[in-house]
Amino acid sequence: MRVLFIHADYIEYEAREKALKNAEEIEKRKERCDECLVAFISVEEGDDGIAPRASKEIEEIAEKLNVERIVLYPYAHLSPKLASPDVAMKVLLNLESILGEKYEVCRAPFGWYKSFVISCKGHPLSELSKEIRAEGEEEEESEALKAEKKTTYWYIMTPDGELHDVSEFNYEKYPNLKKFVDYEISGTRAVTRIPPHVELMQKLELADYEPGSDSGNMRYYPKGKLVKRLIEEYVENRVLDYGAMEVETPIMYDYNHPSLKSYLNRFPARQYIVLSGKDKYFLRFAACFGQFLLMHDATFSYKQLPIRIYELAKYAFRREQKGELVGLRRLRAFTMPDMHTLAADMEQAKEEFRRQYEMAISVLKDFGLELGDYEVAIRFTRDFYEENREFINDLVRLVNRPVLIQMWDERFFYFVLKFEFNFVDAMNKAAALSTVQIDVENAQRYGITYYDEKGEKKNPYILHCSPSGAVERVMYAMLEKAYMDSQRGRKPMLPVWLSPTQVRIIPVKDEFMDYATAVMHDLADLGFRVDLDDRDLSVSRKIRDAEKEWIPYIVVIGEKEISEEILTVRIRGEGVKVMKMDEFLKILEEKVRGYPRAKLPLPALLSMRPKFRG
């Protein structure tokens, strides 16, 4: 059973028409319930006898919120594996009966299309999601995941180094930080509507859901594949320039390998388990352990440290919960740039941490994500903070804005310090992008050693770094930012170096087609992605279509442009400018200099292109 809980000022709903032939008969089509806990429920396959257990879970949340009214709302959209209507109806009726002994229960009609209006209270516990499993069906959960649910301390640290309780900090100048704090503390990851980036990824023909899989595995159309590949190549270039050595490791590992099994319980993620005969394997959720096993066999001394190795984990797998899988924000199969740095001591580890922190800021900036577009979270143990206060303060001063602090009295995980840059989207959901962690236990677990100045063996510290975060999540953040820009009256667009088409040529008439084609080839030969709209449509329609595709530069060619050897260029977000070819080339080169380049992912003539999404 999947449940999304909303602590509401009120909910109003109206049954409009039957969605099922055997929808239950109802007397009242409209209902309103005030000051209530609303439980949006998807009853799944195998949930026949789950009502007693589910009622206890619902009661626990109702008690925490001190509510007297519960609304049971059938909501099929949380799961792709729904129970039959008969089973679902039986479970809902049982829930209503059990909870009705203690609470005022209102149940929305089953089998109807309904409209509803809800007012969420907006405090940290007002939105929660839960997966309730029948007895004997509990999902394997790492010790780190369990530990993460224990007591944690939340603060806001300001650039002056002061710690403020999250409930007392004044967020008036930092509304986005408030959204991020509420999201983190609530623990709610599920969504109740389609995020804006999903419509954009489909409309722009970048990516889409794969009907032959589930919502955690995506398909990428030619444009999306190009964007994805350019992001991968860019990050790879950055880490190689930083001094990393590239390696490749397997995606499947022995579940009972002693070092790996121990690490599984120290990593806060759900794994995919694979059976091969009697043998049990797991799919990697990062490139960590493959690189650790590799470095276990390497020989090196303090003179070679720090050592940095890198792999593009394509793919990494995490068994995320179904209600959280929407679009590119959270996936089950994703591409993670993964660098690990071996450091001789904590001082060297801190120096690397700071350098990688600054590199991550620079990386996101090249994706069009400025410091003001994401929120910073720094997480550490109390002991580490007491010993390294000035270092933590310096990290906050570097971004020169308040950041969220999470502190633990004891170390639940393998790291003592971690930062994340978190993008907050249009639905007030957050997703981690860049991250670096200082790992104090895996070198010993995997037997990774180096020789110090005295020739003695020691365990290094290990830094885990993804300068960008998952590649798919970078795409999500760029699309969500573009949507929010459009809401503020700005033209949505991708950075020019990532735009599938950088220049579109539009001839005014067929008689100018040869000249337009020559211009296209000249620009393409210089390494720019250029296409030509040769369709039998009006110029205004062609321009509108190019605008819908977010083309950065639209070049219209007519008689004047040919006779005067000029270009009329519509620059996205800036307007129309007339210029010579040399001037246009200078503008283009400035936008793509230093970034990876790639060929146009589709036929250059629009008349020759298939449409991947209707």
Residue 138 has pLDDT above 80, yes or no: no
Residue 137, pLDDT > 50, answer no
Query: Of 48-52, 187-191, 366-370, 491-495, which range is least confident?
Result: 187-191
pLDDT of residue 187: 63
Best mean pLDDT range from 45-49, 127-131, 284-288, 381-385: 381-385
- Give the pLDDT confidence of 446-492 residue by residue, as tens digits: 999 999 999 999 999 999 999 999 999 999 999 999 999 999 999 99
Q: What DSSP state is assigned to residue 90? A: H
Task: Residue 329: name the closest of 426, 187, 186, 464 by CA.
Answer: 426
In a 13 Å sphere around the CA of 244, the CA atoms on its Cβ side amount to 27
Q: Which of 448, 446, 549, 477 is nearest to 506 (CA)?
A: 549
Q: DSSP letter string over 19-55?
A: SSTTPPP-S-SEEEEEEEEEEEEE-BTT-TT-HHHHH
pLDDT at 145 over 60: no
pLDDT exceeds 90 at position 314:
no
What are the strands of the beta sheet with 567-571, ordered from one edge? 530-532, 503-507, 553-557, 567-571, 575-579
Mean pLDDT of 132-158: 65
> Using CA atoms in the order 162, 165, 170, 173, what is the torsion angle rounded to 10 degrees?
70
Q: Point out the least confidently predicted range of 120-134, 247-261, 350-364.
A: 120-134
The rounded mean pLDDT for the chain is 91
334 and 316 in contact (C-beta within 8 Å)? yes
What integer pLDDT is reported at residue 548 of this predicted model? 96
3-state SS, residue 214: coil
For residue 511, give both structure tokens: 């008689």
Residues 374, 375, 378: CA angle, nearest 5 degrees? 140
Q: What pLDDT score was predicted for residue 190?
A: 60
Question: Which pLDDT belongs to residue 344?
Answer: 96
Q: Which domains does the chain have, with CATH numbers?
A: 2-135 (3.50.80.10), 157-481 (3.30.930.10), 496-608 (3.40.50.800)
| Contact indicator for 478, 431 with CB cutoff of 8 Å | no
End-to-end Cα separation, the chain, in angstroms: 34
Residue 161 has pLDDT above 50, yes or no: yes
Alpha-carbon distance of 66 to 55, in angstroms, equals 16
Amino acid at 401: R
pLDDT at 213 over 60: yes
81-91 pLDDT, tens digit each: 788 898 999 99
Positive or negative torsion for Cα 63, 66, 70, 71: negative
Q: Of 69-78, 166-175, 274-283, 401-410, which range is least confident?
A: 274-283
- Residue that wins the pLDDT comparison between 242 and 428: 242
- Helix, strand, or coil (residue 439): strand
pLDDT at 105 over 50: yes
Closest CA to 242 of 394, 363, 385: 363
SS (H, E, C) 219-288: EECHHHHHHHHHHHHHHHHHHHHHCCEECCCCCEEECCCHHHHHHHCCCCCCCCEEEECCEEEEECCCCH
pLDDT higher than threshold 90 for residue 561 = yes
- Per residue in 497-535, pLDDT tens? 999 999 999 999 999 999 999 999 999 999 999 999 999
pLDDT greater than 50 at residue 236: yes
> Which pLDDT belongs to residue 188?
62
Share of the chain above pLDDT 90, in %: 72
